[in-house]
Structure 1
Amino acid sequence: MIELSRRQLPAYKSWFPRATAGPTALAEHVLTANGRLWADRADRPRAIAVACAGHVLLRGNPDALDPTALTPLSGHYVLAPSRFLPVLGSAFDRVVPWERMVYVQREQPTAPRPPRGVIVRRITASDTRTLAALGADAAWIHASWGGPGELAASGCAWGAFGKGRLLAVACTYFRGNRYEDIAVVTAPDHRRRHLALSCVLALGADAAARGRTASWTCSRYNRASRLLAWHAGFRLEREYVHYATGAAAPHRVTGLRVPV
């Protein structure tokens, strides 16, 4: 596949779901924030992939794709119709299905009182260094915006601050026109203090004030994430499967291979 400019995405936005909760908001996010666009050819493409923060939406005709053309999607989570599975299986050394769940915020519970000395507020551009100080293990939280500075300046993140340190962050991960799919991270030594819940509720109310609804996406098997979503007023909307790709296959092999 060849990379196209993000500015070309509006011409193909009808290829992707719109105004839907969950990771399908990725295409709308890329239009206005951060991400990449690939196609099988520059003129009248038959297959298109839009990617951000290691997540990919793949649409079009899989017969237009040679497996070697999918190399840019290695090490990604690919959400695509089942007709793409044979070419994905030929392109990568492994393709692992991952069951996922999408929740939508239906209620807005009362936020718990923050612990003494902790303030929950919107993150601003002046908090960039504090956000970056969360470290490499938490860097994924700002990947969909292109870095800590971009997320901090977006106005779409709330944090719990204590003693000059950022203890928890909830942010819009993929911003769509109707839904904002959110993510949260808490410093390991400050978990079980309801800081993530406070940040999520503040962000959910903020999204509502922008005329959008907060959504939440997690693995079916992530019980802690599902419980946090429930306590924050999120209710199950739908389930889906995306595929974690490995390295590009050294040669073409037909079919989907799932390691045991």
Structure 2
Amino acid sequence: MIEISPPDARALARWLPTGAPGPATIGEHVLATGAGRWWGDRPVQPRTVAVSCAGHVVLRGSPEELTPALLAPLAGHRVEAPARFLPALGAAFDRLTPWERMVWTLQAAPQPAPVPHGVTVRHLEPADTEAVHALGPDSSWLSASWGGPLGLSASGHAWAAVGRAGRLLAVACTYFRGTGYEDVAVHTVPDRRRHRLGLACVTALCADIAARGHTPSWNCSVHNRASRLLAWHAGFRLVREYVHHAAGSPVAHNRLSA
């Protein structure tokens, strides 16, 4: 795949899913924010189009003429694509691991999440950029869909539980912002988990999303029990399941030419 120019909104709807929770929000988010990349099998009138952001890819179009070399740039990503793409993807990478996912939407009132004394729940601001950095590499995924800590802090789409010294204890943000749904992500520092700080941040964020006229959504692995429990406590309910595939390394050259 080669990088191509972003489509306009009408072209996006022809190529990729729109207006729904789950992977549909990825293309809409990238189109609105410029935080990802667009790919095609050729620069003019592509037959296959992909959009990537924060390690996720949505792939659509016709797989008939896709070669392992064309698909190689998608290595290391989690790819959501119709089943007709699986033979081409399987031939392009040394492994293709299915990953079962769950999509939830906000349908109920959240459980109470009282904030401990000395902790403030508020919007992230650009001045919080260094505090987001200080969360460390284990949380770097949280800001990836906004281009990094500054993008997340300045997005206006993140809430944090902040301690007296300015340390971020939990952060909830819109991870992918769609036209109808906003996909929610949350991170709590290890020593403050089970204190419901993540729930407090998610609750504040969901009120913000609703005020924008959008519906909060949640996307997690079937096997992520902690994420599922937090989603339930925050008022999310399951709407569907799907599978995306983690792509390994591109197949070796000698295997391609064997």
TM-score interval w.r.t. the shorter chain?
A: over 0.9
Aligned to 1:181: 183
Give the superposition deviation at 1:110: 5.1
2:111 & 2:186 partners in 1: Cα distance?
A: 18
Q: Which ranges of structure 2 fall in alignment gaps of 5 or more residues? A: none
Aligned to 1:39: 40
Say if 1:30 and 1:52, in contact at 8 Å, map to a contact too.
yes
Say if 1:160 and 1:167, in contact at 8 Å, map to a contact too.
yes
Aligned to 1:100: 101
* Residues 111-131 of structure 1 deviation map (CA, whole Å, 9 limit, x = unaligned): 411011111111111211111
**TM-score scaled by structure 1?**
0.94
Q: Which amino acid aligns with 1:27?
A: G
Aligned to 1:52: 53
1:91 aligns with 2:107: no
* Residues 26-47 of structure 1 deviation map (CA, whole Å, 9 limit, x = unaligned): 0000001110001001111000
**1:96 match: secondary structure:** strand
Q: Which amino acid aligns with 1:204?
A: C
Q: Which amino acid aligns with 1:31?
A: L
2:231 & 2:9 partners in 1: Cα distance?
A: 32
1:39 & 1:146 partners in 2: Cα distance?
A: 22
Q: What are the residue-to-residue correspondences of 1:40-189 with 2, within 5 Å?
A: 40-109=41-110, 111-163=112-164, 164-189=166-191
CA RMSD of aligned residues (A): 1.4
* Residues 179-226 of structure 1 deviation map (CA, whole Å, 9 limit, x = unaligned): 000100010111110000000111111000000010001011111110
* Counterpart selection for 1:216 from 202, 211, 218: 218
Q: Which amino acid aligns with 1:20?
A: A
Say if 2:210 and 2:216, in contact at 8 Å, map to a contact too.
yes
1:23 & 1:202 partners in 2: Cα distance?
A: 23
Q: What are the residue-to-residue correspondences of 1:190-205 with 2, within 5 Å?
A: 190-205=192-207
1:182 & 1:112 partners in 2: Cα distance?
A: 17
2:113 & 2:189 partners in 1: Cα distance?
A: 18
Q: How many residues align?
A: 253
Q: Once the two structures are aligned, what percentage of the paired residues are identical?
A: 58
**1:63 match: secondary structure:** coil
**1:64 match: secondary structure:** coil
Say if 1:23 and 1:181, in contact at 8 Å, map to a contact too.
no
2:24 & 2:185 partners in 1: Cα distance?
A: 15
2:147 & 2:10 partners in 1: Cα distance?
A: 23
2:238 & 2:10 partners in 1: Cα distance?
A: 32
1:19 aligns with 2:10: no
Aligned to 1:229: 231
1:211 & 1:84 partners in 2: Cα distance?
A: 35
Moved more, 10-19 or 184-193: 10-19
Moved more, 121-130 or 36-45: 121-130
Give the superposition deviation at 1:252: 3.7
Say if 2:111 and 2:235, in contact at 8 Å, map to a contact too.
no
